[in-house]
Structure 1
Amino acid sequence: MTENGATPLGELVAGCRAQMENDLCELFEELGPVLTQVAITRINTSRDRAESRAAASLKLALPTQWGRVASSLRANLAARAVHATKSGYGLADQENLRLLSAAEESVQLAMREVLDRVTLACRDETKPLERRINYLVLRRAMQPGDKTFNVAALWSCIEAACVEVTTDTGPLILLLQLIGDQMAIEMPQLYRVVNEAMIEADILPSLKRSYRDPVPVDAHEVAEESTKVASALDRLVQARTVETGARDMPKSGTASQELFNSLKTLQAVPQAGTPGTHTNVVRMVRDSGAARDVKPLEAVTLDIVAKLFDLIFSDPNVADGIKALVARLQTTVLQAAMLNQRFFADRGHPARLFLDSLSVVAVRLGKVVNAEDPFYLKLSELVDKVQSTYDGDMAVFDSANAELDAFLSECEERDEQQNRALADAVLAREEEMRLKREAQARAQKVADACIARVLVPEAPFEIEEFLRSYWRDVVQSRISQTGEEGAPTVEALQVATDLLRSVTPKHVAGDQQRQAASLPALLSEINVGFDEIGSAPTERKAFLDTLLDLQLAAMRAKNAGAAKAIKAVKARPRGAGPTLQVSHATDVGVRVQDISLPASEGLDGENIPDRADLRRVRQLVRGDWVDFTTVGQTRRERLTWINRSRTLFLFSNSASPCAISITPEALAVRLKNGTAQIVKLDRPIFERAIHGAIRSLDQRA
């Protein structure tokens, strides 16, 4: 920590407080319709008559009374700040002590439970924040006992504001419970922003979260979860024992040995299959003769692992490339589970640690896996090593975990150095970028007009999308460099014309021959354009594969534009309002795509960011992941840098040759139109599947 005075630190605290309180009040301004809809659902689904009556009361009161809650909340937050400055927290509470009525006591008891739930949800952020607050108290930037960021202090302001809707005990309790559900989701985000601001100010940066962990975990939570899993396993084994109690059990070790022999045989056979489809080998083992007479515990283990892989293979959030790696580990996972009864309940088991590491890399790769990506290649190498050498010795997994951890540390250090250099380069030309955006807007408008002149009504939808996005960026870049009449621009427009011609049905043999001869040159020019704008390999391959299909259809004289009639409704109409401004430059050897929003004058509703989306952007912190989608192709990028004024965000990913610098307003527009999506980190893949499998079997037992 550098030697900062109390005044700058006090300004930092004030800024964090202002943003947190403003975001909280914005949330409440938007919450009314959501709560009304939940109340309507409760009326229709609740079996508790008292709750149904309370929900009906809220349904009537919320539309007319909710508008007063946000203003009351702002007033309460301002009052607590003044009170804290004048008299300190806690004194007034003692002065106002009084006996509660029965109704008030009911509300207080219910609210204690809600507050506990919200506090628990915020715990991973409030714990490090408490240590930073203690540091700031020592530096005299905050007063002892200051509850500016205390969850309970904020909740008391929320609770006091909600009496604007109703003071009836039942409806008030239900209202606060519903708000608690929302706050358990939203408030951790508010605390993340505060922690990140203090990390950026170099206040105890060693407490910074580890972005390698998909989701923070707590030791007590892990212990409690393990106990629940072990208890569920015991119930399943008891149920299976009762089910098979009348049958003769196998001699000790005979069934297990036969089963293990079959597993070793399967383990030595490479897992093959059609891309995108994965055979559940464990289910085949479970249904084989070798597993017919296994002990109850072994039978339950087979059921759980079979169900586990069913869930993973059907999970839409897991990329096919990751599923392919998982499929190669099926017999290994089954052996590890059968050799250790605590496998399912013990997150620290070496095999579990390795399996969870797949999720760490899966987060980086997203739903589209590039088989040439270094991270994927390393995982594939380690999976092969584990699958081919595992013989029951956990040292195989220990070695794989150590090797993967060293690899990730090395890669992240290298990425961090490149990101710092890239951020410095972007920062150095930030003002230049801002000044050039007017010229970029003019170039983009000309490029849009050029593409519109080239397009023909019968163009396939996929080709039109490509020309209006990727190729428009190529044309715009060339216009900026050489003008509309420059040879590079003319060549780019000729490529667009040739591309459209290449997907037009050919009915004459001579036309087919000429097209076949011209395709290599056309594809070469398209790849040059992709290089100029730094497109990711997966995006490039996806378009070229689609293009090949369309060109083959054209060679066979089929109407490749049929899809356009179906999908044209999704395309942006010609002459529509301004779109996001995009330009490209090279910094420290990396292509940087700069995305901004034009001046607000003349923007249509589609291009005006929503306040809720702007708030979500404000709440992003370094290390967050965002999926950017262009022409149906998704690229996952990590937020690696934010300038001090938070007017420019830099996203990058070592798996992509192109970084993205984007303004908050532009990112909010992309969130609004669905071409960007903030990635919500979930529990590791195997952990989700294990809990899902055990829960499913336990419910049936």
Structure 2
Amino acid sequence: MTEQDAATLGRIVAGCREQMESDLCELFDELGPVLTQMAIAHDEAGRERSERIAAVALQLALPSAWPKVAPSLRNKLKTREVEAAKSGYGATDQSDIRLLSQEEESVHLAMREVLERVALACRDETKALDRRINYLVLRRAMQPGDSTFRVSALWSCIEAACVEAVTATDALILLLQLIGEQMSTEMPQLYRVVNEAMIEAEILPRLKRSYRDTIPVDAQEVADESTRVASALDRMVKARTAETGAAEVSRVTAANGELFKSLTTLQAAPPPVSPGKHTNVVRMARDSDAARNMKPLEALTLDIVAKLFDLIFSDPNVADDIKALVARLQTTVLRAAMLNQRFFADRSHPARRFLDSISVVTLRWGKVVNVDDPFYLKLAELVDKVQSTYDGDMGVFDSANAELDAFLSEREEFEEQQNRALADAVRAHEEELRLKREAQVRAQKMADACIARMLEPGVPIEIEEFLRSYWRDVVQSHISQAGEECAATTEALRVATDLQQSVSPKHVSADQQLQAAALPALLSRINAGFDEIGAAPTERKAFMDKLIDLQLAALRAKKRFATQAMEAARLRRRSAGPTLQVSHATGNGIRVQDISLPSGGGLDEEDTPDRADLRRVRQLVRGDWLDFMTAGQTRRERLTWINRSRTLFLFTNSASACAISITPEALAVRLKNGTAHVVKPDRPIFERAIHGAIKSLDQHA
């Protein structure tokens, strides 16, 4: 860690404070309409008359009161530093102590709960920040007791600003509760930005986030959760015992032996899987004769695991290839749960840790898995090893966990080295890249015009989207290198013409034969274009699969008619104003897709970034994952580098041959128009399914 003097560190702290307070006030500028809608919903859902009266009162007060809140909040944030400087950080002003009125006490008690909820939501970020603040205090860059970044200090300013604007006690309490709901989501993002700025400044960088991190939780939360799960299991077992009676216990040993024998047989053979559908072999075991003679605890375990896999196989957020991988572990999971019910209540159980690790790795793919990725190949290898060797010994899972951890550490270091090299290359050519963007404007306009001229009426929407996006980039690349009239550009446009012809219906046998003979060469030329722009394998495969379907339909003389919605979308695209500027460059063996807004102004509303989206971009930190959508194909990328001026973001994924460099403004536009989405961290697949299964069965107990 680079040693820095107190003055430098102080400037870093001041910058973080200014950015955090600016973002918070900007958020409050936009929050009024959201709170009004929340108050309306609260009114409609309110059960108590007092709740509905408070909601109505808040709806009436907000239009005139809310415009005062953001300016007041700015003032409160500014004056708190002045007051702290006068009285000394951590000091208490005894002259301000007084008795609270009944109304003030009501607000105070209600806000204690809200503050606790907001603080809990921010906990994972504030823990790391507290350690950094202690470091800064030791180096005298901050004063002992400085409350600049405390959640309670920020909340007291929010509360004070709202108190000045809304006077009715019940309406004020409801307003602060609704703000608390919003702050539970928004405020952790503000702290993330502060932590990231300090990581960039080398202030305890060893506390940076790992790529393997999922949603962090603390030990107390895990213990409380285990207690709740164990309590639910105990409650359901007692209910079933009361139903079945003690007479069933005598048949347990034989029933368990028969079931485990059948499970061993099922485990030895892979479960039957049909495309898009996964067979729940645990449910098959649940319906067997052996299962009918089990005692309540074992029967409940069987029900939970059967329900668990039902939920996983029906989860739209889990890719089919991951479902197929998980399907191989059905009997293994059931055996592990039958041998030790701690499996459900303890996240540290070796089998649980291995299953949760699958979710950690699958974050890199989203809904489309690259089955050739080393990460997927390693998961498949370990799943097969566990499935074939597990005999009740938890050491199998311990070994798999250790092997996967070692693999992830090795790959993380390898990718970190790759990303450093890539960031160095982009940094070295950053100015050149900026100048090149200006030169690319003409090339992109020419490529857009070329594609527009040769588009044929009635071309399938999938083909038009492909030509206007991926293939436009190919044409643009050739125009940039050698001009519009060069042989490479001419050949690229010829491919576009041949592609459209290949999906038009063929009614004559001779035309069908000629088309069938020409397809291999056409597909080869398209693949070469994909290579030129570094398209990810998943994007390439998804388009090629659609193309084959369209070409087969054409050979059978079937015509696909676009719906009115598709036609309207096409007309909107053709009449649209400036679009994002895209170029491709290869330097030092590294291919980068550069995305920016066109220079020179003239942007229409759709291509102008919103302030809220720009704030979301500012709140991104290294390690965040985003989905980028192009022509219906999704590409998941990880934010691996941001330049010091935060004017350029670099996204990479080892599964793709091409990185993405994008300006904040261009990324904000993509967030606005839905062609980019921030991937929200979620609980691991098995954890979600276990809780869903237990909750479902408990409700029917």
TM-score relative to the length of structure 2: 0.98
- Report what 1:567 is aligned to: 566
Q: Any idea what the Cα deviations from partners look like across 1:470-500, whole Å, max 9, x if unmatched? A: 0000011110000111111111111111111
- Report what 1:513 is aligned to: 513
The answer to whether 1:102 aligns with 2:84 is: no
- Report what 1:664 is aligned to: 664
The answer to whether 1:327 aligns with 2:330 is: no
- Report what 1:484 is aligned to: 484
| CA separation of 1:176 and 1:593: change in aligned 2, threshold 3 A | same
- Report what 1:590 is aligned to: 590
After TM superposition, the structure 1 = structure 2 runs for residues 680-695 of structure 1, keeping only pairs within 5 Å, are 680-695=680-695
Aligned-CA RMSD value: 1.3
Q: Any idea what the Cα deviations from partners look like across 1:523-580, whole Å, max 9, x if unmatched? A: 11111110110001111111111111111111121113x1365522233432421110
Secondary structure at the aligned position of 1:344 is classed as helix
* 2-structure distance, mates of 1:617, 1:63: 29
Q: Which amino acid aligns with 2:360?
A: V
- Report what 2:462 is aligned to: 462
- Report what 1:263 is aligned to: 263
Please tell me whether the aligned partners of residues 647 and 663 of structure 2 are also in contact (alpha carbons under 8 angstroms): yes
Secondary structure at the aligned position of 1:660 is classed as strand
Q: Which amino acid aligns with 1:5?
A: D
Q: Any idea what the Cα deviations from partners look like across 1:573-600, whole Å, max 9, x if unmatched? A: 3242111011111244332111111126
- Report what 2:697 is aligned to: 697
| CA separation of 1:673 and 1:577: change in aligned 2, threshold 3 A | same
* 1-structure distance, mates of 2:575, 2:609: 20
Q: Tell me how far 1:7 sits from its aligned partner.
A: 1.7
* 2-structure distance, mates of 1:589, 1:157: 52
The answer to whether 1:234 aligns with 2:234 is: yes
| CA separation of 1:162 and 1:600: change in aligned 2, threshold 3 A | farther
Q: Tell me how far 1:90 sits from its aligned partner.
A: 4.2
The answer to whether 1:275 aligns with 2:248 is: no
Please tell me whether the aligned partners of residues 505 and 556 of structure 1 are also in contact (alpha carbons under 8 angstroms): yes
Secondary structure at the aligned position of 2:677 is classed as strand
* 1-structure distance, mates of 2:255, 2:590: 59
After TM superposition, the structure 1 = structure 2 runs for residues 148-163 of structure 1, keeping only pairs within 5 Å, are 148-163=148-163
Please tell me whether the aligned partners of residues 596 and 665 of structure 1 are also in contact (alpha carbons under 8 angstroms): yes
Please tell me whether the aligned partners of residues 25 and 74 of structure 2 are also in contact (alpha carbons under 8 angstroms): yes
Q: Which amino acid aligns with 1:537?
A: P
**Structure 2 gap segments, 5+ residues each:** none
- Report what 1:385 is aligned to: 385
Secondary structure at the aligned position of 2:271 is classed as coil
Q: Which amino acid aligns with 2:202?
A: D
The answer to whether 1:673 aligns with 2:639 is: no
Secondary structure at the aligned position of 2:249 is classed as coil
After TM superposition, the structure 1 = structure 2 runs for residues 414-563 of structure 1, keeping only pairs within 5 Å, are 414-560=414-560, 562-563=561-562
- Report what 2:341 is aligned to: 341
Please tell me whether the aligned partners of residues 89 and 143 of structure 2 are also in contact (alpha carbons under 8 angstroms): no
Please tell me whether the aligned partners of residues 209 and 623 of structure 2 are also in contact (alpha carbons under 8 angstroms): no
The answer to whether 1:214 aligns with 2:214 is: yes
Q: Which amino acid aligns with 1:186?
A: E
- Report what 1:180 is aligned to: 180
* 1-structure distance, mates of 2:183, 2:93: 24
Aligned residue pair count: 700
* 2-structure distance, mates of 1:568, 1:546: 19
* 2-structure distance, mates of 1:271, 1:93: 70
Q: Which amino acid aligns with 2:699?
A: Q
Q: Any idea what the Cα deviations from partners look like across 1:506-527, whole Å, max 9, x if unmatched? A: 1222222221222222111111
After TM superposition, the structure 1 = structure 2 runs for residues 291-302 of structure 1, keeping only pairs within 5 Å, are 291-302=291-302
The answer to whether 1:285 aligns with 2:282 is: no
Please tell me whether the aligned partners of residues 250 and 293 of structure 1 are also in contact (alpha carbons under 8 angstroms): no
* 1-structure distance, mates of 2:687, 2:216: 13
Q: Any idea what the Cα deviations from partners look like across 1:393-443, whole Å, max 9, x if unmatched? A: 111101111111111111111000000000000000000010111111111
| CA separation of 1:291 and 1:666: change in aligned 2, threshold 3 A | same
* 2-structure distance, mates of 1:602, 1:427: 29
Q: Which amino acid aligns with 2:464?
A: E
Secondary structure at the aligned position of 1:188 is classed as helix
Q: Which amino acid aligns with 1:208?
A: K
The answer to whether 1:5 aligns with 2:19 is: no
Q: Tell me how far 1:675 sits from its aligned partner.
A: 0.7
After TM superposition, the structure 1 = structure 2 runs for residues 347-426 of structure 1, keeping only pairs within 5 Å, are 347-426=347-426
Q: Tell me how far 1:247 sits from its aligned partner.
A: 4.8
Please tell me whether the aligned partners of residues 351 and 397 of structure 1 are also in contact (alpha carbons under 8 angstroms): yes
Please tell me whether the aligned partners of residues 626 and 678 of structure 1 are also in contact (alpha carbons under 8 angstroms): yes
Q: Any idea what the Cα deviations from partners look like across 1:228-264, whole Å, max 9, x if unmatched? A: 1111110010111011117543335221111111111
Please tell me whether the aligned partners of residues 343 and 349 of structure 2 are also in contact (alpha carbons under 8 angstroms): yes
Please tell me whether the aligned partners of residues 199 and 208 of structure 1 are also in contact (alpha carbons under 8 angstroms): yes
Q: Which amino acid aligns with 1:421?
A: A
After TM superposition, the structure 1 = structure 2 runs for residues 59-70 of structure 1, keeping only pairs within 5 Å, are 59-70=59-70
After TM superposition, the structure 1 = structure 2 runs for residues 243-254 of structure 1, keeping only pairs within 5 Å, are 243-245=243-245, 247-254=247-254
- Report what 2:14 is aligned to: 14
Q: Tell me how far 1:667 sits from its aligned partner.
A: 0.6
- Report what 1:78 is aligned to: 78
* 1-structure distance, mates of 2:313, 2:446: 47
* 2-structure distance, mates of 1:476, 1:609: 25
Please tell me whether the aligned partners of residues 83 and 89 of structure 1 are also in contact (alpha carbons under 8 angstroms): no
Q: Any idea what the Cα deviations from partners look like across 1:97-144, whole Å, max 9, x if unmatched? A: 100011101100111111111111111111111111111112121122
Please tell me whether the aligned partners of residues 580 and 595 of structure 1 are also in contact (alpha carbons under 8 angstroms): yes
Secondary structure at the aligned position of 1:576 is classed as coil
Secondary structure at the aligned position of 2:294 is classed as coil
Q: Tell me how far 1:463 sits from its aligned partner.
A: 0.5
* 2-structure distance, mates of 1:269, 1:652: 38
- Report what 2:43 is aligned to: 43
Please tell me whether the aligned partners of residues 650 and 660 of structure 1 are also in contact (alpha carbons under 8 angstroms): yes
Please tell me whether the aligned partners of residues 422 and 588 of structure 1 are also in contact (alpha carbons under 8 angstroms): no
TM-score relative to the length of structure 1: 0.98
The more displaced of 89-98 and 143-152 is 89-98
Secondary structure at the aligned position of 1:368 is classed as coil
Q: Any idea what the Cα deviations from partners look like across 1:650-698, whole Å, max 9, x if unmatched? A: 0101111111111111111111111110000011111111111111111
Q: Tell me how far 1:61 sits from its aligned partner.
A: 1.1
Q: Which amino acid aligns with 1:306?
A: A
* 1-structure distance, mates of 2:326, 2:49: 48
| CA separation of 1:636 and 1:246: change in aligned 2, threshold 3 A | same
Percent sequence identity over matched residues? 76
**Structure 1 gap segments, 5+ residues each:** none
Q: Tell me how far 1:93 sits from its aligned partner.
A: 4.1
Secondary structure at the aligned position of 1:250 is classed as helix
* 2-structure distance, mates of 1:569, 1:384: 49
Q: Tell me how far 1:88 sits from its aligned partner.
A: 2.3
The answer to whether 1:199 aligns with 2:199 is: yes
* 2-structure distance, mates of 1:248, 1:297: 12
The more displaced of 625-634 and 597-606 is 597-606
Q: Which amino acid aligns with 1:363?
A: L
The more displaced of 350-359 and 198-207 is 198-207
* 1-structure distance, mates of 2:418, 2:589: 10
* 1-structure distance, mates of 2:215, 2:102: 41
- Report what 2:137 is aligned to: 137
Please tell me whether the aligned partners of residues 66 and 164 of structure 1 are also in contact (alpha carbons under 8 angstroms): no
Q: Tell me how far 1:266 sits from its aligned partner.
A: 0.7
| CA separation of 1:600 and 1:286: change in aligned 2, threshold 3 A | farther
The more displaced of 567-576 and 479-488 is 567-576
Secondary structure at the aligned position of 1:251 is classed as helix
Secondary structure at the aligned position of 1:505 is classed as coil
* 2-structure distance, mates of 1:475, 1:252: 71
